[in-house]
Structure 1
């Protein structure tokens, strides 16, 4: 079937594959370094307890058959090794069927992790990585041209990511329709980056232009992905440029980079660079079994797309939701509402036998979330700091932290090494504190004048107690 492949997208596939492999590597690395404190056997939300309550059919995972911290580490580091091999281009040295199997390995391993990750893995970019990773299996192999149907499916994913995000904004917070959301967003986003303070201090008319441009990119431009070239290439490059703007303005894990990878898969590089981007002359014709497989899987994924497509046009649109346990076709969206005020949970400990207001309370510092008002935010994305992100949700409402915050405090009181590794600084290096408390503060960016005078990028005001002084055993403070 001559229509089956589009050889001119050979370089597009190669770029897409390498970016995806790098993101797989970061995802597995984060899992390997953070899992013991979060979902390990002694973690805040242990995997063994979860798989005992949730059947395999609802959350398919190899950890239903066996779990130990050593086995999880083997899967995570094994995923790193496979991702590194894919990044190095090992798949290009294999026959088509073997390359497909190699791409299937990280997808199956990461699916197993996400499906037992619970709250720590409840982010839209987890499902996006799995959906795109599954399509990458069909996209494997350098000896045949990229299948047209897979190129279409990747554009369908990109369309849902962008258009879904645009719709959830227009249906959600009124500030998106008034073009005023960016008055607040850069200050109140989950994890600001090193440039977020400067983005926040841009003139308000420019914020309105940013918001309007965002609406155009998310609500109009996605339809151009399905138009002939070079229009589709222009639309994809515009989306990629918008995502780079978001990369500069905040820390959103690998969401922006994976969206860029999707956009690059729609770019016809040969139109841009001529023969320099030409495919190899020895591309083989795809075997019949491969054509049948791609057509069958495409038909199945389009059938599964019914619910995500219906969600897009629904007045009750939901975002970042998986409609099947394999995360094959999902609903996406971001920031349907924007907070006007930033509230942060500050965790402190004391070694005093009796906790008083004037006790020697020392503050725990997190790697990414705001704490010390003089510490400038850092760039972590596309690496994902899971505890820091959940601490942002805790600041919105204690309900977001009900399942894990108590175990987190307990591990601080125990001086648990795996938990302390998730933090930037522990103020009790020799022995754990006697009491731990948490307080809620309102944070705001300083003005240019305040920054010059104090050197602080944040100013904070005490709001209320989040957790009273607590010790091991849960007993009341001594009189």
Structure 2
């Protein structure tokens, strides 16, 4: 009837399902590990307090119906079980309706977390993962022929991600238009990776090529996704390859790998099969009821397309925006401007008058000069990321930074588990302070001489010394 089959998408569907479920699994594990410190009843931004201040219709969440720390963690662990079932292929054999319910449950779980996650869950990749999980509800099990309706939804999402990022750059900082953005980006990005130092020290001409190629991939290639194969598949592979390059150059949680999953879902099985030589399953079109559900999904997708399309065409383009509380039909963008100086805040403590100040270290966050930037992604160190934002403006630290300092002064165990280096493992300090610095990568000569990856200058007070009262 109205299935509009896309049979060449069956292998991409497998990559999409397994890949997205794996990334959600990593995300849920990171949520579980960081929950006590960040969002629990005793965390830096407690969920119960947030629920008291918000209307359920503005932030729909199962935790608005019932909340306890144990229930939150139990919900996360249930999501882990669903992810493992999907990764191992158990859900692929389910009936169409049951397969959709599994994805609906994963979507609802993560939507509920994001809608109470406050600043810790305000990043691009959170809203993107929620929207991807929503599309997954309709992608179908292994015995259903993939539908062009779902393929079109994936294409539109990937265009919004790529073209949106490209347009925000062209409308943003001049450094993108004069091709100098990557002279700075590898050094000033929020959480550099183990290869970022090397990327930063590439020749200037390489940075120009990087920036120019980025513009082509984000502003031109996405429109090839609407062409028939093999053009669509080639465009998707180019996008995936570019995202793999970004994985090497820095830590951006799971956004690059999630975009790779989206892109590979659009590669025809005749091409993807060279890398994944799997046997094509027996497939058939869905029932009339399934077809009408897919049509309803297509109509909903069209209805929600207007606002992000208008945003793409607007001279006042928003970088990341949601237009409904369910995070479906969002606008995306990244790095509209590039900072030219890296600013970091360093928290240190002292045992008392005349005692030395010793620095706390956070995973993934630059601090100790000799510590090489680690590989963190696709894991997400939310506290480290927000400390980077707080260095840009105190407004980003409002509501949680003072609580963090009090937690360090009281020796809070949940917070101590979020540290890479705890200079006070036995007794908490009597005093803490926050100092701001300008950081830059060491030059090759400086690194040979000192072994340091970083050089810091321009020390100044960010928050004065304080103690528990």
TM-score by length of 1: 0.96
Distance 2:272 2:419 in 1: 45
Instruction: Tell me the SS of whatever aligns to 1:337.
Output: coil
Within the candidate set 392, 395, 405, 1:396 is matched to 392
Listed one character per residue, the Cα deviations across residues 106-163 of structure 1 (whole Å, up to 9, x for unaligned) are 1101111000000000001111001010000100311111111001100100000000
1:387 aligns with 2:388: no
Is contact 1:269–1:277 with CA below 8 Å preserved after alignment? no
Q: Which stretch has the larger CA shift, 297-306 or 323-332?
A: 297-306
- After superposition, residues 317-466 of structure 1 pair within 5 angstroms as 317-352=317-352, 354=353, 359-466=355-462
Instruction: Tell me the SS of whatever aligns to 2:420.
Output: strand
Distance 1:336 1:92 in 2: 40
Listed one character per residue, the Cα deviations across residues 66-111 of structure 1 (whole Å, up to 9, x for unaligned) are 2111111111111111111111111112111111111111110111
Aligned residue pairs, count: 468
1:94 aligns with 2:94: yes
Distance 1:6 1:50 in 2: 44
Distance 2:410 2:229 in 1: 61
- Cα distance, 1:348 vs structure 2: 0.2
- Cα distance, 1:349 vs structure 2: 0.4
Could you say which residue in structure 1 is the equivalent of 2:160? 160
1:291 aligns with 2:287: no
Instruction: Tell me the SS of whatever aligns to 1:423.
Output: coil
- After superposition, residues 54-133 of structure 1 pair within 5 angstroms as 54-133=54-133
- Cα distance, 1:5 vs structure 2: 1.7
Instruction: Tell me the SS of whatever aligns to 1:384.
Output: coil
List alignment gaps of at least 5 residues for structure 2. none
1:147 aligns with 2:177: no
- Cα distance, 1:278 vs structure 2: 5.5
List alignment gaps of at least 5 residues for structure 1. 474-479
Is contact 1:270–1:276 with CA below 8 Å preserved after alignment? no
Is contact 1:91–1:140 with CA below 8 Å preserved after alignment? no
Listed one character per residue, the Cα deviations across residues 396-441 of structure 1 (whole Å, up to 9, x for unaligned) are 1111111210111111111111111111111111111111100001
The runs of at least 4 consecutive aligned structure 1 residues that moved more than 3 Å come to: 271-278
Could you say which residue in structure 1 is the equivalent of 2:239? 239
1:279 aligns with 2:280: yes
Is contact 1:435–1:470 with CA below 8 Å preserved after alignment? yes
Listed one character per residue, the Cα deviations across residues 352-397 of structure 1 (whole Å, up to 9, x for unaligned) are 1x3xxx6311100111010100000111101100000001001111
1:24 aligns with 2:24: yes
Distance 1:76 1:105 in 2: 11
Distance 1:279 1:323 in 2: 39
Residues 271 and 249 of structure 1, relative CA distance in 2, 3 Å threshold: closer
Distance 1:404 1:302 in 2: 39
Is contact 2:93–2:143 with CA below 8 Å preserved after alignment? no
Is contact 1:4–1:291 with CA below 8 Å preserved after alignment? no
